[in-house]
Amino acid sequence: MTPAITSDDAATRARQLAAVADPHRLRVLSVIAVASEAVTAGAVASALAMSRLESDRAITALVEGGLLEVEGGRAYTLTPDAWFRFGRMLDPARGDGEGSGRWSLPVDIRLALDRVVEQLTYRYSAFFSRESVEGFVFDSYELLRDRASVTQHLVTLTNRYAADRLAAVASSRGLMLRGVPELLFVCVRNAGRSQLAAAHARSIAGNRIHVRTAGSSPASAIDPVVAQVLEEDALPIVAEFPKPLTDEVVLAADIVITMGCGDSCPVYPGRRYLDWEIQDPVGAPIEEIRLISAQVRERVHQLLASIGVAS
Protein backbone atom coordinates (compact mmCIF):
# COMPACT_ATOMS: atom_id res chain seq x y z
CA MET A 1 0.00 0.00 0.00
CA THR A 2 1.40 3.38 -0.95
CA PRO A 3 0.04 6.91 -0.64
CA ALA A 4 -1.12 8.46 -3.87
CA ILE A 5 1.17 11.43 -3.41
CA THR A 6 4.95 11.32 -3.24
CA SER A 7 6.85 12.92 -0.38
CA ASP A 8 8.09 15.72 -2.68
CA ASP A 9 4.56 16.36 -3.76
CA ALA A 10 3.37 16.34 -0.15
CA ALA A 11 6.04 18.89 0.78
CA THR A 12 4.94 21.21 -2.03
CA ARG A 13 1.28 20.93 -1.07
CA ALA A 14 2.07 21.49 2.59
CA ARG A 15 3.96 24.68 1.71
CA GLN A 16 0.99 25.83 -0.34
CA LEU A 17 -1.39 25.08 2.50
CA ALA A 18 0.83 26.84 5.00
CA ALA A 19 0.79 29.91 2.75
CA VAL A 20 -2.99 29.97 2.77
CA ALA A 21 -3.70 28.81 6.34
CA ASP A 22 -3.97 32.30 7.76
CA PRO A 23 -7.24 34.25 8.14
CA HIS A 24 -5.86 37.46 6.62
CA ARG A 25 -4.31 35.75 3.63
CA LEU A 26 -7.51 33.79 3.08
CA ARG A 27 -9.52 36.99 3.06
CA VAL A 28 -7.07 38.56 0.62
CA LEU A 29 -7.43 35.53 -1.61
CA SER A 30 -11.21 35.70 -1.39
CA VAL A 31 -11.31 39.41 -2.30
CA ILE A 32 -9.26 38.65 -5.40
CA ALA A 33 -11.33 35.52 -6.16
CA VAL A 34 -14.64 37.38 -6.33
CA ALA A 35 -13.30 40.49 -8.07
CA SER A 36 -14.20 41.06 -11.67
CA GLU A 37 -10.61 41.67 -12.73
CA ALA A 38 -7.06 41.60 -11.43
CA VAL A 39 -6.79 43.46 -8.12
CA THR A 40 -4.03 45.80 -6.95
CA ALA A 41 -2.53 45.62 -3.47
CA GLY A 42 -4.08 49.00 -2.69
CA ALA A 43 -7.56 47.79 -3.61
CA VAL A 44 -7.10 44.70 -1.43
CA ALA A 45 -6.07 46.87 1.51
CA SER A 46 -9.08 49.14 1.19
CA ALA A 47 -11.57 46.26 0.68
CA LEU A 48 -10.43 44.63 3.90
CA ALA A 49 -9.56 47.79 5.85
CA MET A 50 -5.96 46.64 6.19
CA SER A 51 -2.80 48.69 6.06
CA ARG A 52 -0.76 48.54 2.86
CA LEU A 53 1.99 46.81 4.79
CA GLU A 54 -0.41 44.04 5.87
CA SER A 55 -1.87 43.53 2.41
CA ASP A 56 1.61 43.55 0.83
CA ARG A 57 2.80 40.91 3.25
CA ALA A 58 -0.21 38.70 2.65
CA ILE A 59 0.12 39.05 -1.12
CA THR A 60 3.83 38.24 -1.06
CA ALA A 61 3.17 35.05 0.93
CA LEU A 62 0.41 34.01 -1.46
CA VAL A 63 2.56 34.67 -4.53
CA GLU A 64 5.37 32.60 -3.03
CA GLY A 65 2.89 29.83 -2.28
CA GLY A 66 1.89 29.74 -5.96
CA LEU A 67 -1.65 30.93 -5.23
CA LEU A 68 -1.52 34.39 -6.77
CA GLU A 69 0.11 35.63 -9.93
CA VAL A 70 0.89 39.13 -11.10
CA GLU A 71 -0.88 40.53 -14.07
CA GLY A 72 0.34 43.63 -15.86
CA GLY A 73 3.06 44.25 -13.29
CA ARG A 74 0.98 45.33 -10.30
CA ALA A 75 -2.41 43.63 -10.12
CA TYR A 76 -3.06 40.10 -8.88
CA THR A 77 -5.21 37.16 -9.90
CA LEU A 78 -5.60 33.63 -8.59
CA THR A 79 -3.48 30.92 -10.20
CA PRO A 80 -5.30 27.97 -11.79
CA ASP A 81 -4.00 25.88 -8.89
CA ALA A 82 -5.62 28.20 -6.37
CA TRP A 83 -8.95 27.98 -8.17
CA PHE A 84 -8.66 24.28 -8.41
CA ARG A 85 -7.78 23.51 -4.80
CA PHE A 86 -9.32 26.37 -2.88
CA GLY A 87 -11.90 27.96 -5.17
CA ARG A 88 -14.77 26.22 -3.45
CA MET A 89 -13.98 27.47 0.03
CA LEU A 90 -13.11 31.03 -0.97
CA ASP A 91 -16.40 31.88 -2.47
CA PRO A 92 -19.16 32.04 0.15
CA ALA A 93 -21.81 32.42 -2.57
CA ARG A 94 -20.90 29.04 -3.95
CA GLY A 95 -21.88 27.12 -0.86
CA ASP A 96 -20.25 23.88 0.09
CA GLY A 97 -21.10 21.18 -2.37
CA GLU A 98 -24.85 21.31 -1.88
CA GLY A 99 -26.77 20.48 -5.01
CA SER A 100 -23.51 19.69 -6.74
CA GLY A 101 -22.51 16.42 -8.30
CA ARG A 102 -23.45 14.98 -11.63
CA TRP A 103 -27.01 13.99 -10.76
CA SER A 104 -28.07 17.56 -10.22
CA LEU A 105 -27.15 18.39 -13.83
CA PRO A 106 -29.69 18.34 -16.66
CA VAL A 107 -29.59 15.12 -18.63
CA ASP A 108 -28.36 16.71 -21.88
CA ILE A 109 -25.40 18.25 -20.08
CA ARG A 110 -24.65 14.96 -18.39
CA LEU A 111 -24.62 13.16 -21.72
CA ALA A 112 -22.43 15.83 -23.30
CA LEU A 113 -20.01 15.62 -20.37
CA ASP A 114 -20.00 11.84 -20.58
CA ARG A 115 -18.80 12.23 -24.14
CA VAL A 116 -16.04 14.54 -22.96
CA VAL A 117 -15.12 11.91 -20.37
CA GLU A 118 -14.90 9.29 -23.14
CA GLN A 119 -12.64 11.47 -25.26
CA LEU A 120 -10.32 12.41 -22.45
CA THR A 121 -10.23 8.90 -21.03
CA TYR A 122 -9.02 7.76 -24.41
CA ARG A 123 -6.49 10.52 -24.73
CA TYR A 124 -5.10 10.06 -21.24
CA SER A 125 -5.58 6.31 -21.01
CA ALA A 126 -1.91 5.81 -20.26
CA PHE A 127 -2.09 8.01 -17.16
CA PHE A 128 -5.55 8.12 -15.59
CA SER A 129 -8.44 5.80 -14.89
CA ARG A 130 -11.85 6.62 -16.26
CA GLU A 131 -13.01 7.51 -12.74
CA SER A 132 -10.28 10.09 -12.30
CA VAL A 133 -11.01 11.64 -15.67
CA GLU A 134 -14.70 11.74 -14.83
CA GLY A 135 -13.94 13.49 -11.56
CA PHE A 136 -11.85 16.12 -13.34
CA VAL A 137 -14.45 16.67 -16.05
CA PHE A 138 -17.47 17.14 -13.79
CA ASP A 139 -15.52 19.24 -11.37
CA SER A 140 -14.15 21.43 -14.16
CA TYR A 141 -17.66 21.88 -15.46
CA GLU A 142 -18.96 23.02 -12.08
CA LEU A 143 -16.07 25.39 -11.56
CA LEU A 144 -16.57 26.97 -14.96
CA ARG A 145 -20.35 27.05 -14.71
CA ASP A 146 -20.31 28.79 -11.36
CA ARG A 147 -18.09 31.50 -12.77
CA ALA A 148 -19.91 32.10 -15.99
CA SER A 149 -23.19 33.62 -17.01
CA VAL A 150 -22.80 32.31 -20.54
CA THR A 151 -23.61 28.64 -20.75
CA GLN A 152 -23.41 28.20 -24.49
CA HIS A 153 -19.89 26.89 -24.83
CA LEU A 154 -19.49 25.47 -21.36
CA VAL A 155 -19.08 21.88 -22.46
CA THR A 156 -16.42 22.80 -25.01
CA LEU A 157 -14.65 24.93 -22.43
CA THR A 158 -14.94 22.11 -19.91
CA ASN A 159 -13.29 19.78 -22.40
CA ARG A 160 -10.32 22.11 -22.84
CA TYR A 161 -10.07 23.02 -19.20
CA ALA A 162 -10.21 19.41 -17.99
CA ALA A 163 -7.72 18.37 -20.70
CA ASP A 164 -5.32 21.10 -19.56
CA ARG A 165 -5.71 20.04 -15.95
CA LEU A 166 -5.11 16.38 -16.77
CA ALA A 167 -2.05 17.23 -18.86
CA ALA A 168 -0.75 19.46 -16.09
CA VAL A 169 -1.29 16.83 -13.40
CA ALA A 170 0.23 14.11 -15.57
CA SER A 171 3.33 16.12 -16.36
CA SER A 172 3.69 17.41 -12.80
CA ARG A 173 3.69 13.83 -11.56
CA GLY A 174 6.27 12.99 -14.19
CA LEU A 175 3.80 10.75 -15.97
CA MET A 176 3.97 12.53 -19.25
CA LEU A 177 6.96 13.84 -21.10
CA ARG A 178 5.98 17.11 -22.66
CA GLY A 179 6.45 17.20 -26.38
CA VAL A 180 6.26 13.47 -27.02
CA PRO A 181 4.70 13.42 -30.48
CA GLU A 182 1.58 11.36 -30.95
CA LEU A 183 1.46 9.48 -34.26
CA LEU A 184 -1.71 8.08 -35.73
CA PHE A 185 -1.45 5.49 -38.51
CA VAL A 186 -4.67 5.05 -40.44
CA CYS A 187 -5.49 2.52 -43.14
CA VAL A 188 -8.73 0.98 -44.31
CA ARG A 189 -9.01 -2.12 -42.15
CA ASN A 190 -6.55 -1.32 -39.33
CA ALA A 191 -5.46 -4.90 -39.78
CA GLY A 192 -2.36 -4.65 -42.01
CA ARG A 193 -0.53 -1.49 -43.04
CA SER A 194 -1.29 0.61 -39.97
CA GLN A 195 -0.35 -2.31 -37.72
CA LEU A 196 2.96 -2.75 -39.55
CA ALA A 197 3.68 0.97 -39.33
CA ALA A 198 2.85 1.14 -35.63
CA ALA A 199 5.02 -1.85 -34.78
CA HIS A 200 7.99 -0.47 -36.74
CA ALA A 201 7.56 3.01 -35.26
CA ARG A 202 7.54 1.60 -31.74
CA SER A 203 10.63 -0.51 -32.42
CA ILE A 204 12.52 2.46 -33.90
CA ALA A 205 11.58 5.25 -31.50
CA GLY A 206 10.41 3.42 -28.37
CA ASN A 207 9.02 5.78 -25.75
CA ARG A 208 9.97 8.91 -27.64
CA ILE A 209 6.65 8.74 -29.46
CA HIS A 210 3.09 7.71 -28.72
CA VAL A 211 1.58 5.51 -31.41
CA ARG A 212 -2.05 4.85 -32.15
CA THR A 213 -3.76 3.17 -35.09
CA ALA A 214 -7.22 3.21 -36.61
CA GLY A 215 -9.07 2.09 -39.72
CA SER A 216 -11.76 3.74 -41.81
CA SER A 217 -13.67 0.43 -41.88
CA PRO A 218 -11.90 -1.80 -39.40
CA ALA A 219 -11.64 -5.54 -39.88
CA SER A 220 -12.59 -7.91 -37.08
CA ALA A 221 -9.02 -9.00 -36.38
CA ILE A 222 -5.43 -8.30 -37.33
CA ASP A 223 -4.39 -10.06 -40.55
CA PRO A 224 -2.74 -13.32 -39.34
CA VAL A 225 -0.07 -13.21 -42.05
CA VAL A 226 0.83 -9.64 -41.09
CA ALA A 227 1.05 -10.78 -37.48
CA GLN A 228 3.34 -13.60 -38.59
CA VAL A 229 5.65 -11.24 -40.49
CA LEU A 230 5.88 -9.01 -37.42
CA GLU A 231 6.66 -12.01 -35.29
CA GLU A 232 9.50 -13.01 -37.63
CA ASP A 233 11.07 -9.64 -36.92
CA ALA A 234 10.33 -10.04 -33.20
CA LEU A 235 8.17 -6.92 -33.28
CA PRO A 236 5.30 -6.82 -30.80
CA ILE A 237 1.93 -5.73 -32.12
CA VAL A 238 1.10 -2.27 -30.79
CA ALA A 239 -2.67 -2.27 -31.10
CA GLU A 240 -4.46 -5.37 -29.96
CA PHE A 241 -7.54 -5.03 -32.16
CA PRO A 242 -8.63 -2.97 -35.19
CA LYS A 243 -10.35 0.26 -34.13
CA PRO A 244 -12.63 2.62 -36.01
CA LEU A 245 -11.37 6.01 -37.06
CA THR A 246 -13.08 8.55 -34.81
CA ASP A 247 -12.64 12.26 -34.25
CA GLU A 248 -11.03 11.63 -30.87
CA VAL A 249 -8.11 9.66 -32.22
CA VAL A 250 -7.43 12.31 -34.84
CA LEU A 251 -7.77 15.10 -32.29
CA ALA A 252 -5.29 13.34 -30.03
CA ALA A 253 -2.65 13.06 -32.76
CA ASP A 254 0.12 15.41 -33.81
CA ILE A 255 0.91 13.61 -37.03
CA VAL A 256 -1.66 11.63 -38.98
CA ILE A 257 -0.41 9.17 -41.58
CA THR A 258 -3.06 7.80 -43.91
CA MET A 259 -2.48 4.78 -46.11
CA GLY A 260 -5.15 4.25 -48.74
CA CYS A 261 -8.01 5.93 -46.92
CA GLY A 262 -7.16 9.60 -47.42
CA ASP A 263 -10.60 11.16 -47.78
CA SER A 264 -12.32 9.41 -44.91
CA CYS A 265 -9.92 10.91 -42.39
CA PRO A 266 -11.31 14.04 -40.70
CA VAL A 267 -9.01 17.03 -41.10
CA TYR A 268 -8.36 19.30 -38.12
CA PRO A 269 -6.11 22.31 -38.07
CA GLY A 270 -2.76 22.10 -36.34
CA ARG A 271 -2.07 18.49 -37.30
CA ARG A 272 0.40 17.31 -39.85
CA TYR A 273 -1.11 15.02 -42.46
CA LEU A 274 0.85 12.60 -44.59
CA ASP A 275 -0.50 10.21 -47.16
CA TRP A 276 1.60 7.17 -47.98
CA GLU A 277 1.05 4.97 -50.99
CA ILE A 278 1.48 1.49 -49.64
CA GLN A 279 0.00 -1.62 -51.18
CA ASP A 280 -2.76 -3.29 -49.12
CA PRO A 281 -1.39 -6.62 -47.89
CA VAL A 282 -4.82 -8.25 -47.73
CA GLY A 283 -4.69 -11.70 -49.28
CA ALA A 284 -1.11 -11.22 -50.48
CA PRO A 285 1.41 -14.07 -50.11
CA ILE A 286 3.81 -13.82 -47.19
CA GLU A 287 6.84 -12.98 -49.37
CA GLU A 288 5.01 -9.93 -50.65
CA ILE A 289 3.93 -8.90 -47.15
CA ARG A 290 7.58 -9.08 -46.03
CA LEU A 291 8.42 -6.63 -48.82
CA ILE A 292 5.54 -4.36 -47.82
CA SER A 293 6.73 -4.49 -44.21
CA ALA A 294 10.26 -3.48 -45.25
CA GLN A 295 8.85 -0.66 -47.35
CA VAL A 296 6.74 0.57 -44.41
CA ARG A 297 9.74 0.40 -42.10
CA GLU A 298 11.77 2.55 -44.48
CA ARG A 299 9.08 5.25 -44.60
CA VAL A 300 8.51 5.16 -40.86
CA HIS A 301 12.25 5.53 -40.35
CA GLN A 302 12.38 8.56 -42.65
CA LEU A 303 9.45 10.15 -40.84
CA LEU A 304 10.89 9.54 -37.38
CA ALA A 305 14.29 10.84 -38.52
CA SER A 306 12.59 13.98 -39.80
CA ILE A 307 11.16 14.68 -36.36
CA GLY A 308 14.39 13.74 -34.65
CA VAL A 309 13.32 10.59 -32.80
CA ALA A 310 14.88 7.82 -34.90
CA SER A 311 17.73 6.00 -33.20
Partner 1 sequence: MPIDMIAVMQTARTQRHAAEPPLDLQAATRIARALATFADPTRLRILSLIDASRNGEVTVREITDALEIRQPNASHHLKLMVEDGVLRREVHGRNSLYSIHPDHAERIRELLR
Binding site for partner 1 (CB under 8 A): 1-5, 7, 10-11, 13-15, 17-18, 20-27, 30-31, 34-38, 47-48, 77, 80, 83-85, 88-93, 97, 135, 144, 147-150, 157, 160-161, 164-165, 168-169
Q: How many CA atoms lie within 13 A of 121 on its CB side?
A: 13
State the first-to-last Cα distance of the chain, in angstroms, to the nearest integer: 38
Q: How many residues does the chain have?
A: 311
Report, in Å, the least distance between residue 106 CB and partner 1. 19
The amino acid present at 50, given as its one-letter code, is M
Q: Return the number of the residue (3 or 236) whose C-beta is nearest partner 1.
A: 3
Q: Return the number of the residue (8 or 287) whose C-beta is nearest partner 1.
A: 8
User: Does residue 67 come out as left (phi exceeding 0), alpha (psi in the -120 to 50 range) or beta?
Assistant: alpha
Alpha carbon of residue 264 to chain centroid: 25
Report, in Å, the least distance between residue 255 CB and partner 1. 21
Q: Return the number of the residue (62 or 238) whose C-beta is nearest partner 1.
A: 62
Q: Return the number of the residue (30 or 293) whose C-beta is nearest partner 1.
A: 30
Report the distance separating Cα 61 and Cα 44, nearest Å.
14
Q: Return the number of the residue (2 or 207) whose C-beta is nearest partner 1.
A: 2
Report, in Å, the least distance between residue 136 CB and partner 1. 8
| Angstrom distances, CA of residue 308 to CA of 6, 180, 238 | 33, 11, 21
Report, in Å, the least distance between residue 113 CB and partner 1. 18
Give all strands (DSSP E) within the chain, no chain letters.
Answer: 39-40, 68-71, 75-78, 182-187, 210-215, 255-258, 272-275
Report, in Å, the least distance between residue 160 CB and partner 1. 6
Report, in Å, the least distance between residue 212 CB and partner 1. 23
Q: For the chain, how are helix, strand and coil distributed in percent, rounded to 5?
A: 55, 10, 35
Q: Return the number of the residue (27 or 243) whose C-beta is nearest partner 1.
A: 27
Q: How many CA atoms lie within 13 A of 147 on its CB side?
A: 19
Q: Return the number of the residue (91 or 280) whose C-beta is nearest partner 1.
A: 91
Report the distance separating Cα 301 and Cα 291, nearest Å.
15
